[in-house]
Every structure is written in C-alpha cells, then in structure tokens.
Structure 1
C-alpha cells in the first residue's frame, strides 16, 4: 500500500477499496456485470474488510468460470491463494443455494417409481452435484413419489449417514416405500463397505416402520449402481428385516 493510500486511510478511517465497492454495488441491477465482478461482490460478505477483486480473479483463473467456482469442493477451493476454510464454506453454500433454487419445484412429486426409469432419472439429476449427498424418496401405496428429502450433505468425497434422521422422516410421513440415493461425484459407483452398511441400516429402519425398501441407488460419473438391479436387495431385505435379525439370534424359534 502506498504512503498516499496509508495517509488517506488514516484520515478517513476507511479502507482504500471501499469507494470501489460502493461504485460496484451501485451498478447491481442496472447493468450487466462481468463474472469476476459478480464473484467479487459475492465475496464481500465473506471478506468484509479485504479487497476481494484479486481473490475473485484467482478463483476464476483456477476454475475457469463462476459456475465451476460455485460447484467446486471445499478442498479444491482452499488450494487457491487467499481462500481459507470460511470463504470456501461460504462459496460451497452459495452453490448449494443456487442448485436448490434452479431445481424444478417438486419435479419428482407424482413420478411413478420404476427401477429402470429411476436409474435413468438419477443419472441426469445428480450429474451436476459437486458434493456427496444422501436423498430419500418416499413412495405412496401406488408407488408414486410424494416426497424427496435431502437427509445429509457432505464434501466431494465423503458424507456421513445419520439413521436417526431417516427414522424421523419415516415416522413423520409413513410412506409405503423408500428409495435411497447418494452419489460419488469424483469416484466409481461401486459401493463401499460404508455404502453397504448404510443400505443394511436403511433396511432395518424400513422393517421397523413397515416400509418397503425398494432400492439404494448410487450415482457416479462412470455409471449408476443399483442394489436392486444387481440383485442384492432381496438378500438384504431378508437378512436385515426385523424377522431376519430376530431369527438369526434365535428369538423366533418355536414361534
């Protein structure tokens, strides 16, 4: 910072870039702003006392476009000079808000569930997700989807599954059927041990709430994996229903 700038700041008590911010904000809604200007403005809330122009340019240089910035992972964003955890979290959150707002309202509601068609739907629906998510699709007695609920969100390579959240959803809405979907944005669709464990827990919860667990579908860029299509749901539903679990422990002997 030049001596003149320092004297100016000392005299006014304001940062030298504050005038630039006011001029840029005055243009909002009145004229078309460039991508770096839009990103610069978005960063004002995350960095209220810093010049965000340079960071905006570095982000766009690293990712190529505003859309790519807002769909990048926390880890990738923090590789950019000047972007810490709080700024990265802010940008990821903005991206989530943008995707939520651009989704067709209740686009899934009323859709008839059919395993093959649903896999095609997942392939289109989840290809723009930059982070791992866990979604629940609730079916009525006629196999129509009446609710889609996002259970949890994670980062680019990981998401935790909390079965208590699903249990609450099932108890509140009492569906006839359930389809679970989650994604591997940057990996293969082949389920991990944690994915298998999640599937078993979902089946146990469904059995407890008298809900048919139809499928667990995993999206990945290389292809969509369906437990049902792979023939695994029948065994899981048998072994991890309440009857199956109690039978394994001998509680149903003689009943």
Structure 2
C-alpha cells in the first residue's frame, strides 16, 4: 500500500518539485504522474507511472502504444491515452515549428528528434519528404509512401513533382525501419543514388536520406554516402 502523494513531503510531490526545481529535475515516472493526476486503489500516480514504464519497457514505447494496449492496464482508460497522445503530438509539432523557423544546419538535432518522434516507433514503414526553402527551413513534411519499401515502389518522379509544386530548394527524405535495425539495406542505397540523380536534373539537391528506428538513426550525409556518381 502506497500513501497518496498528498501525504508525501511537499518537496517530493511532483508538482511542487517541478515548481521549485524545474521540469528537468523530475524522473520520467514523476512527469508521467502529473499527466495521470491520480493513481488507483493502493497505488499513487507515481507508482502507477512506474508500473506503466516497466510494462512497456521504456518511454518511447509507452508514448507510441495503441489505445487497446494501454486500456488493458488497470486504471488506464481512453481518456488517459488521449492525454498522453496529445502531449506527445505537441512535442512533435513544436519540433516541426522549430524546423520551419531555423535552418536544418543550425539545428540538426531538432531534425533528428523530430523524425524519431514522428516515425521512429511506427509499426509500419513510411517514407517522408521534408521540403526545404532557400534558407534550408522546413516548408512541409509529407508522407508520400507507406508499406515496406521492398514492396511499395518509391517513385522519384512523384517526389520530383511534389518538390516542384512547393518550389522547394532542397530535400531531405526519411523512412523508418520498424524492425529496429537502422542500418541501410542495398535497396536503400540504390534508392538514394537514384533520387540524387533525378533531383540533380532540376538543380534540387537531396541533402540527406535518414533511416529511423525507435532506438537508432542513420544519416547518409553523415556517413559520406550522398555522392552524385
């Protein structure tokens, strides 16, 4: 039996701790407890949050869980899932807004965090295009293809058409590997070469091809694989 949070020393209560020390001083469980607001019989909100993190293994898996997965747990309903998803979506939108205001080269960490938050934990494969303006700021992030890239064709002409329609000055493309392995396959490498050559015909550089998983990130640019040969 855990005492309710209201009976804890004030400095140990998550809301008071945040007010006094700032959000960064709180553990994942304490931050999650603020969203949960209340626990269940015999468990404080912090204890319930710890159970959730243990059940899903880590915070990213919890944030990307389905309503069915969360509501199987005692005390968790659709409203709790909705609250968690709303907070997660705000994080993704904040990162996207930052990319639309700053060059991807002055804030490369935001691009990585944004892509990992957006597609890193998806159970299916998606292919994204990030269209950039002349200042290398994000115009739009568009999902163009869905499904395994070995079965779903990625058409360079479609990417070219969409880039021209947005008057993009440069592109970054990205896709996820639901398997968790973020190492590029031969098909990924061939696709990258084909896209570089196709976009080069209209003087739109492909700056990077990123492969994202829930636990890793691969950049063709950082690996020195963005050659036009």
TM-score range (shorter-chain normalised) is 0.5 to 0.7
Alignment partner of 2:141 out of 140, 148, 173: 148
Cα 1:156–1:68 shift into 2, 3 Å: farther
Q: 1:60 is matched with which residue?
A: none
Which residue of structure 1 aligns with residue 67 of structure 2? 66
Change (3 A) 1:119 1:159: farther
The separation in 1 between residues aligned to 2:152 and 2:114, in whole angstroms, is 22
* Match among 166, 169, 181 for residue 188 of structure 1: 181
Equivalent positions of 1:78-97 (< 5 A) are none
Q: Which runs of 5+ in 2 are unaligned?
A: 1-64, 71-84
Cα 1:156–1:167 shift into 2, 3 Å:
closer
Corresponding residue of 1:212? 205
TM-score (norm 2): 0.54
- Could you tell me whether the CA contact under 8 Å between 2:121 and 2:214 is conserved in 1? no
Q: Shift of the alpha carbon at 1:109? A: 3.2
Distance 1:141 1:171 in 2: 13
Alpha-carbon displacement from aligned partner over 1:3-46 (angstroms, at most 9, x marks no partner): xxxxxxxxxxxxxxxxxxxxxxxxxxxxxxxxxxxxxxxxxxxx
Instruction: Give the count of matched residue pairs.
Output: 143
- The runs of 5 or more residues in structure 1 that have no matched partner are 1-63, 70-97, 240-255
Question: Conserved in 1, the CA contact under 8 Å of 2:150 and 2:187?
Answer: no
Residue by residue over 1:162-217, the C-alpha shift from the partner in whole angstroms, topping out at 9 and shown as x without a partner, is: 22210211221231111001000123111111111110121012101211211000
Which of 129, 138, 142 is the equivalent residue of 2:131?
A: 138
After TM superposition, the score normalised by the length of structure 1 is 0.49
Q: Secondary structure at the residue paired with 2:112?
A: helix
Q: CA deviation at 1:156?
A: 10
Distance of 2:165 and 2:66 partners within structure 1: 41
Q: 1:109 corresponds to which residue?
A: 100
Greater shift, 180-189 or 107-116, is seen at: 107-116
SS in 1 for 2:121: coil
From 159, 168, 184, give the equivalent of 1:175.
168
Flag the 1:112–1:121 CA change in 2: closer, same or farther, 3 A: same
2:202 paired with 1:202 = no
Cα 1:164–1:67, aligned 2, differ >3 Å: closer, same or farther? farther
Preserved CA contact (<8 Å) 2:180 2:216: no
Q: Secondary structure at the match of 2:100?
A: coil
Deviation at 1:110, TM superposition (A): 3.1
Cα shift at 1:67: 4.8
Tell me: CA distance 1:217–1:205, structure 2 relative to 1, closer, same or farther (3 Å): same
Give me the whole-angstrom Cα distance separating, in 2, the residues matched to 1:163 and 1:211. Answer: 13
What is the aligned-residue RMSD (CA, Å)? 2.9
The question of whether the paired residues in 2 share the 8 Å contact of 1:131 and 1:156 is answered with no
